[in-house]
Amino acid sequence: MNSNNQSNKTIIYSKIDEIPKTIWEELNCPYLYFSPTYLEAIEKNNSHLSFFYIVLKDQQQKAIAFACVQIISFQLNSIENDLSTILKRVTSLARKFKIIPNEKPLQILTCGNSFVSGEHGLYIKNSEDKRLVLRKLSKAILQYTEDKYQQNPIDIFIMKDFVSDSLTISNELISLGYYSFNVEPNMKLEIDKNWQNFNHYLAALKTKFRVKAKKAMELSSALLIEDVHSENIDNQLQKMTELYKRVASKADFNLGEFKLATYKDLKENLGDDYILKTYWLQNKMVGFLSGMIHGSELDAHFVGIDYTLNKSHAIYQRMLYDYINIAIKQKLTTINFGRTASEIKSSVGAIPEHLTVYIRHKKTITNKFLKLFLLKIQPTEFHQKFPFKIDKKNS
């Protein structure tokens, strides 16, 4: 679909392989999350989602912006795990005001990555008026879905996850009927440039946290850790999926299940930039971690854990330290640990990076009630730990 708007052309693609190579060259986007190799793997293996992509061109018909959109049919009643008390109250209130239908699955549109925290839905070239471009992209999403999804219309529109520095731009969405709210923060660890190895990291910790780290390393010493490659992934995916589902079932809220078959394509497409490790105890897989290196940052992705052995062998704690060790060895600057388990992540040095999500309902009147729904959504409070010595750089 093409639409001309004040000399800008909006082009909609339903598949990533439909986007011409010249578009990617014109965008010249440095972020791996917007690369066709990454997006192709996500699209190919997650058929429970519908995808479309928006490209905005300037007056010279050069691509200046890109949006990645995912749609999922979401049935609240299908959630197997118990929702938090807050979410139950929110659901009740939302159904009372008919924001959430009782029977019909919600059609939820997300401009962003459903599986990763961060600003991975929109890319706008720095030379552009980002507020204006954001407005045009958002309008294009609304217009396209009104035309395309008349039989099964979109209920909820979500634009995610904007960091504090982006709010002067992203707040433009409020003028288009969106409401903003804070979600669980991304837990972020800055890697000290003086850390040449893991022992340097340990030396930067206060005694209490260094003792805790060494205890975790001791408890996990019996674990055999194996790198997963394209050649050995097939016989591990089934067990990895079982372990992933154990972790996912504990989450208060999941929009969709990540299909671990995606890992095979990510390894093939991204090579060493996509990290997979499995953890074994006496020839039994008891955990795995995944992550992606993009630029100078490491993003921790999904993990799987055998919880019956987690405490006795410090599996999850060991994974956090392994992420840190990887980042130090690769001379990276930052680890994005993502949402959830904020307190334990803070105990290894991560601090919260606040994220803002924007949401609106397709119906104007219902959208006015949505604010009541959002007032009930608050990030989970946690006790922030401060494990580093005051002057860690000189320790």
User: Residue 336 carries which side chain, given as an amino acid letter?
Assistant: N
Which tens digits make up the pLDDT trace of 200-257? 999 999 999 999 999 999 999 999 999 999 899 999 999 999 999 998 877 655 556 7
**Which candidate, 228, 27, 270, places its Cα nearest to that of 127?**
27
Is 173 in the same domain as 267? no
* DSSP code, position 249: T
Q: Find the angle CA(111)-CA(114)-CA(119) to the nearest 5 degrees.
A: 55
Give the separation between CA 223 and CA 379, rounded to whole angstroms. 34
Is 175 in the same domain as 213? no
Is 165 in the same domain as 294? no
Sole residue written with tokens 């890109």: 66
**Among positive and negative, which fits the CA dihedral 265, 268, 270, 276?**
positive
Is 68 in the same domain as 118? yes
Residue 272, token pair as written in the block: 């060493």
Give the separation between CA 155 and CA 157, rounded to whole angstroms. 7
Is 261 in the same domain as 323? yes
Q: Report the domain count for the chain.
A: 2
Is 12 in the same domain as 155? yes
Show Cβ contacts of residue 52 under 8 Å, excluding neighbours closer than 6 positions.
12, 13, 14, 69, 71, 144
pLDDT, one tens digit for every residue, the chain (395 residues): 555 445 679 999 999 999 999 999 999 999 999 999 999 999 999 988 999 999 999 999 999 999 999 998 876 554 443 333 444 555 565 666 666 666 667 788 999 998 888 999 999 999 999 999 999 999 999 999 988 887 788 888 999 999 999 999 999 999 999 999 888 899 999 999 999 999 999 999 999 999 999 999 999 999 999 999 989 999 999 999 999 999 887 765 555 678 999 999 999 999 999 999 999 999 999 999 999 999 999 999 999 999 999 999 999 999 999 999 999 999 999 999 998 899 999 999 999 999 999 988 877 767 777 776 676 667 788 999 999 997 544 44
CATH number, domain of 100, equals 3.40.630.30
Residue 145, pLDDT score: 92
For strands 49-57 and 351-361, give the pairing: unpaired
Question: What is the reported pTM?
Answer: 0.89
Q: Find the angle CA(27)-CA(256)-CA(33) to the nearest 5 degrees.
A: 20
Residue 335, pLDDT score: 98
Which helix or strand (DSSP H or E) is residue 63 part of? strand 63-74
Residue 87, pLDDT score: 45
The parent domain of residue 118 ranges over 2-185+354-375
Is 191 in the same domain as 169? no
